[in-house]
Amino acid sequence: MPATIAIIGRPNVGKSTLFNRLLRKRKAITHDRPGVTRDRLDGEAVLAGVPVNLIDTGGLTLEDPQGLELDVLEQARRAVEAADLVLLVVDGREGITSEDERVAGLLRQSGKPVLVAVNKVDGGEKEALYTADFHSLGLDLAPVSAEHGFGMRTLVDDMLARLPEFEDEADRPETELTLSLLGRPNAGKSSIINALVGDARLIVSEEAGTTRDAVDVAFEKDGRRTVFVDTAGVRRRTKIEDSLERIASLTALGSGRRADVTILAVDGPGGLAMQDKRLIAYLDKEKVPFMVAVNKVDLVDAKGLAALKQEMSEELRICPHVPVLFVSALTGKGLRDVLPTARAIREECRIRVGTGELNRLLREAVERHQAPLVKGKRPKFYYLTQTDTVPATFVFFVNDPERIKASYARYLENQLRKLFGIRHAPIKLMFRGSRQRNEDGDIIQRPRPAPQKPGTPKKRSPRAGSDRVAKSVETEDRPVKTASSRPASPKPAGPKPSGSRTGAPKARAPRSGAGKPGAGKSKPSSTRPGEKSGTGRKRPPRPGTKKG
């Protein structure tokens, strides 16, 4: 077992900031308001290669504590009892206070080794000034800045030097199951965890909004280790005006992603509120494995319990696979079914089915009940495969996903659940089309070749190494023929015609009808020098002459 270090101090001295710095992640909520942390938070860290267990506690008020301050004090006392080293955090800027002296005196009575971390020392030049007052406590000091990281290496070395050496013991069993509790404020989430663990691990109060951080509670039984995550109550966003409550709500919603199964706690006497319906819709949309635990049924009579069951069955029509348990954290009624149900959901989420078996199911399901027509056309299913687990994700390859109606998708989901025994785990169905679509959602048609006339040979594109490529290569090496290299054509023998002169245009060849009178006479050429004959072009009229 690793050593345990408890972080103790009065409110608003930076305990949670130092806790996050040692863990190297933001697990505890930090705020300028004092008294944010109430329950003690556990975290596993590795300091210079040594695994340790860190415990963050709420701010202690030893002068006339009242209400929640007494519960916070009890949680801190239990953390000190379980710790091997106590890290007392003080504010170096404010200096020593009477509350710091009371906390130091309480820690001396515990008999545990104590190290004082003087926080908010932003540099070495202020180290002597900020630590001068705390020498009166008679404890070893370590100036640090949890926000900026100053002095953290020295602090880690001082803590490891004071930790006892632990012999290698049997390894702790791995975490088998992680359960996150979600619900409205004052629905009894902390009470359910305390009842399942059998210990007052979390602060329980009639005041709504007691829990703020996401608190991990480990529980071992029969060699199985289960971790419960208690979260703050989630209200409607429009009703949240406090920034601290908004941060706590976001942390609560995010805790379901790192848990195996989420338990939605519902206040039984208050009935199913609108916020409960929103949370159910959110969990179903995100495909989170969850179950519903209706708490405080000991305060509901038999008639009211029957009405509550009827209401739950009607509201869960959007996700009928979700199991509903009616429990009582006070009397323990129905709590023994929580862990077995959660384990069954977790095992169903890990189901993996082969592609061949899935396609046989698809063929039988489509033959049993065909998909309805959409705009006169019926969708075609090509094949089915499973792409992921937790949740189980099945992808259907079809010709057009828009033709799949929601009712037929539910039919396919029911067939998968019935055949593979998936009763309570969520299933995610995806329909992927074989055609590509543009940004507007229209199907992109592939260009088709133009139809050829019958009897015409098909044109084939030249391939590498073909005759066309070879001929083009040969023509590059051939010499270019010029006018001087061409052989002169032989001139006809005989006397030259009278009146012929060099460069004069030749007479045209006689047209048809040369036997007519005057056909043999040649007409004078009307072309200009440098102009081709027979082009059909007319000479423009001279300026100053009338046309026609």
Any binding-site annotation on 298?
yes
10 annotated to bind ligand: yes
Burial-class residue 314 by CB neighbours within 10 Å (0-12, 13-18, 19+). exposed
* 183 assigned binding-site residue: yes
Known binder of ligand: residue 251?
no
Residue 438 to residue 529: CA distance in whole angstroms: 63
Strand pairing partners for 150? 145
Q: Is 123 annotated in some ligand binding site?
A: no
- Distance between CA 183 and CA 31 in Å, rounded? 23
Answer yes or no: is 33 a known binding residue.
Answer: no
Q: Is 35 annotated as a binding residue?
A: no
Annotated ligand binding at 16? The verdict is yes
Asked whether residue 97 is marked as a ligand-binding residue, the answer is: no
Identify the helix (H) or strand (E) that includes residue 4.
strand 3-8
Asked whether 84 and 3 are in contact (CB, 8 A), the reply is yes
232 labelled binding-site residue: yes
> Was 119 annotated as part of a binding site?
yes
Q: Is 438 annotated as a binding residue?
A: no
Q: Is 497 annotated as a binding residue?
A: no
297 is in an annotated binding site: yes
Residue 25 annotated as part of some ligand binding site: no
* CA-to-CA dists, residue 107 to 79, 115, 534, angstroms: 11, 10, 121
> Is there a binding annotation on residue 480?
no
User: Which distant-in-sequence residues (6+ apart) come within 8 Å of 180 by Cβ?
Assistant: 228, 229, 231, 255, 256, 258, 259, 261, 262, 263
Residue written as token pair 């590498």: 464
Q: For the beta carbon of residue 420, count every other beta carbon within 10 angstroms.
A: 18
Q: Is residue 473 part of an annotated ligand binding site?
A: no
> Does the annotation place 309 within a ligand binding site?
no
435 annotated to a ligand binding site: no
Q: Is 538 annotated as a binding residue?
A: no
C-alpha torsion 246→33→87→68, nearest 10: -80
CB 417 within 8 A of CB 423: yes
Nearest to 5 by CA among 162, 210, 154: 162
186 is in an annotated binding site: yes
The answer to whether the annotation marks 194 as part of a ligand binding site is no
Q: Is 366 marked as a binding-site residue?
A: no
The verdict on whether residue 82 carries a ligand-binding annotation is: no
Contact between residue 468 and residue 475 where contact means Cβ atoms under 8 Å apart? no
For residue 175, say whether it is annotated as part of any ligand binding site.
no
9 labeled part of a ligand binding site: yes
Q: Which segments are annotated as binding site for GTP?
A: 9-16, 56-60, 119-122, 183-190, 230-234, 295-298
Q: Which segments are annotated as binding site?
A: 9-16, 56-60, 119-122, 183-190, 230-234, 295-298
